[in-house]
Every structure is written in C-alpha cells, then in structure tokens.
Amino acid sequence: MINVPRWLTLGLTLSFALFAVVFALVVLVSRPETTSTAAGLALFTAAVVACLGIPPAVVPSLRRAGFIAIVGLALPVLGSAALDPDTDSFSNGAWYVSAVVCLVVQLLLHRRQRLAWLVLAGLVVETIIWAGPWGLLRFGILATILMIAVVTASAWAIGVTGTEISRHAESERQAATWRAAQDAFHSEHRVRLGNTALVAAPMLRTITEQRGRLTAADRAECRLLEQTIRDEIRGRQLLTRTIREQVMLHRRRGAVVQVNDDGGLDGVDPGDLDRLLAQLAGAITGLTSDRIIIRTAPIDSPTAITVAAMSVDPVAAALGLDDDDDQIDLWLELPRVAR
C-alpha cells in the first residue's frame, strides 16, 4: 500500500481551504447584507478543522465524515443565496464551489468515496435547480466534476500500484525464503555426503584392494556401514559425533538401533537443539538393550525426542519361544522447552 504523505494531504487541504476562505471574505466585504455567506463560512471552517484532525491513511468515523458531508451539502444553498443565477458567475462570488471541492477531496483521500460523490451530486443538483443546466458551466461545476474525476482516478491508480508493489514484495520474500531453504538443504546435503564418504572410504578401498573377496568380518563391517549411511539420510538433526559413536558401539555389540528424524526438530532454537542432543547422547550411553529406537516427536508436540530401549526376555529366548512383549529398559521423552 502506498501512503500519501501527511504534508501533501495537509497542503491540499490548506490550499483549497485558504482560497475558499479568502474568496468568502471578499464576498462578505462586497456584499455585507448577506448573512448566509457568514453562516456558510463558519460551517466550512468547522469542517476544515474536522478534516485536519484526521490522521493520514485513516478512515474517519461515520459521525465525523457525516458532519463533513452535511456541511458540503449545505454550502451550495448558503453560498448561492448571495448570488444572482442570471447575472453572476463563479468569479463573482461562487466561493462555495471551492469549499465543496476541498471537502470532497478530503473525503476521497480518507476513503469515504460514497459520501464524497454524494456531496458532489448535491452540488450538481442544487446548481441545476437554482441556475439551470447552463449554471453548471457558468459556475465551474463541470470543471469541478472533471477535477474530482481526475483525483478519483489517481487514487485508484495509486491503490492498484500499491497492491502490485505489495504483491511483488511478497513474491520477493517468498523467493528469498525458498532460496534460503534450498541453500540450507544443499549445505546439509554436502555435510551428509562428506560424512558418508569419510565413513565409507576405508571400506571401499579395502573392497578395491581385495577385488571384492571379503571376509566374514568385512561383510559384517559393510552391514554396519550401510546402517550408518542410512542414519545419515534418516537421522538428519539427531546426529552428532557423540551420538554417531554411541550408535556404532551399540550396533557392534549386536543391538538394533533406529534413528529417525521426521522433521520434529525443524525450527528448534540452536541452543535448545544442542541441549536436546547432549541429553540424548547421555541417555543412550551405557545401554545394554537389544533394540534402541530414537525418533523425533511431531513438531506441534511438547516433546522433542523420544527414546525407547527394549530387551528380549532371556527366559523366552533360552526356551526358544517367540515373545512379542519385549522388556522396556528405557522410555524417555525429552521436552522441547527446558524445564
């Protein structure tokens, strides 16, 4: 939205008002017997004061705008009472036309278009009734209508331009956000690739040197590396150097470890994220469970990370029985906000 400067609206108001007031004073001096001009001037001055009290880019209350419109409708009646419709013209004392233009412009600038056009229509109707159709030309009403139309078209053009500028600015903000997200994605992708290459490079060299003839220990190591690479894809923000080391230690002793980041840590403050990951690393250190599941909670949950550690019932395992109810060694919920 384009805001009209305060100095511009104030300058327009004072310019039109000063011209109309001086014009009315000239009429009063030249025709002192007409009291309607003095009454119209007093009402016009009060309406101008009401206009000056409206902040820029603010729609005035219906009471204030209604008072301005009523004054605008009354001015043609009061101002024309001192004139002769057959012999006088705009230059001979039609000060009220300038006063009405001043009030109409103010109503338009403050987005009271219906009242503005009502006041202008009242001026046209009063002039036709009082001086006939030719009075519209002789008293400058047609020029007034043209000027108000130009002001209205200009205000509409400014509004359309402001809307387009706002839309363009919003598109720029969205594009900047998208570029930042893409940069973050590619940066994270490069980090993941670097970690993957660092972990897999020794085994790839071993595979190349041995021409694919791997020992049982090498094959077990490959399976661990495959799980580690999967962690880099699924784990995302759940992985730190300490957590990676602990996960590898658990897998080497035969435990099944799942690390899943479903986006629940997106938008978490870096300080809170460091705290959560430090708590997670401490929680999984020293576990002897057969299965460990680490995953993020939904983004709207007060819990950030959940950790579940389970062990197989040794009695059932010794007897060769299938036991679907694993023993829960640990169930931990790390809150998103520190308590």
Q: What is the largest CA-CA distance in the chain?
A: 123
- Is the pTM higher than 0.85? The answer reads no
Q: Are 63 and 80 in contact (CB under 8 A)?
A: no
Q: What pLDDT score does 234 carry?
A: 83
Domain edges within the chain: 6-168, 234-335
Residue 339 in this model has a pLDDT that exceeds 70: no
**Could you give the CA distance from residue 333 to residue 129 in angstroms, rounded to a whole number?**
84
pLDDT in tens, 105-157: 888 877 788 888 899 899 999 989 988 888 788 888 888 888 788 877 876 78
Q: Are 64 and 77 in contact (CB under 8 A)?
A: no
Element (H, E) at 123: helix 113-131
Model confidence at 190, in pLDDT bands (50, 70, 90)?
confident
Angle formed by the axes of helices 35-52 and 62-80, to 10°? 160
Mean pLDDT in residue range 86-111: 82
Least confident interval from 9-13, 178-182, 219-223, 226-230:
9-13
Mean pLDDT in residue range 27-51: 83
Tokens at 140, concatenated = 């400058």
Q: What pLDDT score does 92 carry?
A: 76
Q: What is the dihedral of CA 147, 149, 153, 154, to 10 degrees?
A: 20
Residue 244 in this model has a pLDDT that exceeds 80: yes
Q: What pLDDT score does 320 carry?
A: 54
Q: What pLDDT score does 8 carry?
A: 64
**Could you give the CA distance from residue 134 to residue 339 in angstroms, rounded to a whole number?**
83
Residue 315 in this model has a pLDDT that exceeds 60: no
In the chain, % of residues over pLDDT 70: 86
Q: What pLDDT score does 306 carry?
A: 92
Averaged pLDDT score across all residues of the chain: 81
Model confidence at 4, in pLDDT bands (50, 70, 90)?
low
Element (H, E) at 260: strand 256-260
pLDDT in tens, 42-60: 998 888 888 877 776 677 8
- Stronger pLDDT, 83 or 2, i.e. the higher one: 83
